[in-house]
């Protein structure tokens, strides 16, 4: 149980930090970058934050909610998806594509990041299309799908570049500072175990080789003895025939 907690706790912490940073970035991106001009124009203000305050928050589920409420809802959904789906599947996909022991860590981590973005971006974009759908004008499934594809096109480049060059490098460096000594001790133990396994394997190979050599020597001795015995029998047969002929005469 202790080993499982030690293994899962860093994973949950890593996911929590990733989701916390990413959700804040996406709320800013979607609110200020994508919808900022529309909010200012609709509320006739000069600043996006003034427009959000004037309309009573951010539109969600057909109503208006404070920014912190929107962030909490998205953090909860993103964290569940990250821990239950994105992390296991992204590592599984990267492991099946690259060998972790022989692949450079930079490329292997890049494969994990790309896989995570490929899972999380469509999933969170679909949830966002449900959360921010204009229910006040009615619901249409085709419009929902169209909004979903539009959000994927908007969010995917932002997600890929921010996760690859900003969020993940920062979090990995932070984790090295926090869990660095523990990881170093674990790496040393793994290296020692690897050396012991190699020594044991070499000893086993040497033992097998010695046994094979001994068996080959025994087989060669058997062959030599059989050849010597056959040669003696062949040489003695004519003498016996000659003795028999003399006795008959």
Report the percent of the chain where pLDDT is more than 90: 47
pLDDT, tens digit, 9 for 90 and up, residues 155-201: 999 999 999 999 999 998 888 888 766 555 555 566 667 676 766 77
Compute the distance between CA of residue 155 and CA of residue 120 in angstroms, rounded to an integer: 10
pLDDT, tens digit, 9 for 90 and up, residues 73-124: 999 999 999 999 998 999 899 888 888 888 888 888 889 999 999 999 999 9
pLDDT over threshold 70, residue 5: no
Mean pLDDT of 208-228: 76
**CA angle at 36 for the pair 32 and 37, rounded to the nearest 5°:** 150
pLDDT of residue 4: 43
Helix, strand, coil abundance in the chain, percent, nearest 5:
90, 0, 10
Mean pLDDT of 206-230: 74
Q: Hey, how many other C-beta atoms are within 10 angstroms of the C-beta on 223?
A: 10
pLDDT, tens digit, 9 for 90 and up, residues 15-55: 999 999 999 999 999 999 989 999 999 899 999 999 999 99
- Check: CB of residue 155 under 8 Å from CB of residue 125: yes
Classify residue 79 by burial, with Cβ atoms within 10 Å: 0-12, 13-18, 19+. Answer: middle
pLDDT over threshold 90, residue 231: no
Q: Hey, how many other C-beta atoms are within 10 angstroms of the C-beta on 171?
A: 17
CA 82 to chain centre: 13
Structure letter (DSSP) for residue 60: E
pLDDT, tens digit, 9 for 90 and up, residues 122-153: 999 999 999 999 888 888 999 999 999 999 99
Q: Which residue has the tokens 């309309």?
A: 55
pLDDT of residue 99: 84
pLDDT of residue 218: 81
**pTM of this structure:** 0.69
Compute the distance between CA of residue 123 and CA of residue 63 in angstroms, rounded to an integer: 22
Lowest mean pLDDT among 5-9, 59-63, 97-101, 161-165: 5-9
Q: 3-class DSSP state for residue 57?
A: coil
- Check: CB of residue 22 under 8 Å from CB of residue 78: yes
Compute the distance between CA of residue 159 and CA of residue 150 in angstroms, rounded to an integer: 14
pLDDT of residue 192: 66
pLDDT over threshold 60, residue 237: no
CA distances from 9 to 12, 116, 199 (A): 5, 19, 34
pLDDT of residue 193: 73
Compute the distance between CA of residue 109 and CA of residue 115 in angstroms, rounded to an integer: 10
Compute the distance between CA of residue 19 and CA of residue 106 in angstroms, rounded to an integer: 22
Compute the distance between CA of residue 132 and CA of residue 60 in angstroms, rounded to an integer: 5
Compute the distance between CA of residue 71 and CA of residue 30 in angstroms, rounded to an integer: 12
């Amino acid at each position: 149980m202790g080993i499982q907690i030690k293994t899962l706790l860093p994973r949950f912490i890593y996911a929590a930090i990733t989701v916390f940073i990413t959700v804040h970035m996406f709320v800013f991106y979607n609110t200020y970058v994508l919808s900022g001009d529309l909010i200012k124009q609709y509320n006739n203000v000069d600043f996006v934050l003034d427009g959000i305050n004037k309309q009573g928050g951010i539109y969600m589920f057909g109503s208006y909610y404070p920014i912190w409420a929107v962030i909490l809802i998205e953090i909860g959904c993103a964290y569940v998806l990250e821990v239950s789906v994105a992390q296991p599947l992204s590592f599984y996909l990267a492991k099946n594509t690259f060998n972790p022991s022989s692949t450079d860590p930079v490329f292997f981590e890049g494969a994990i990041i790309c896989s995570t973005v490929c899972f999380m971006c469509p999933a969170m974009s679909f949830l966002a299309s449900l959360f921010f759908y204009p229910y006040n004008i009615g619901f249409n499934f085709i419009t929902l799908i169209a909004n979903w594809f539009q959000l994927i096109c908007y969010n995917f480049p932002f997600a890929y570049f921010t996760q690859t060059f900003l969020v993940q490098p920062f979090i990995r460096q932070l984790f090295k500072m926090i869990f660095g000594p523990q990881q170093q001790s674990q790496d040393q133990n793994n290296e020692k175990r690897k050396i012991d396994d190699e020594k044991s394997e070499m000893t086993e190979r040497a033992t097998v080789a010695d046994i094979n050599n001994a068996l080959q020597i025994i087989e060669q001795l058997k062959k030599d003895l059989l050849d010597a015995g056959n040669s003696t029998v062949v040489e003695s047969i004519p003498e016996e025939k000659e003795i028999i002929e003399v006795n008959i005469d």
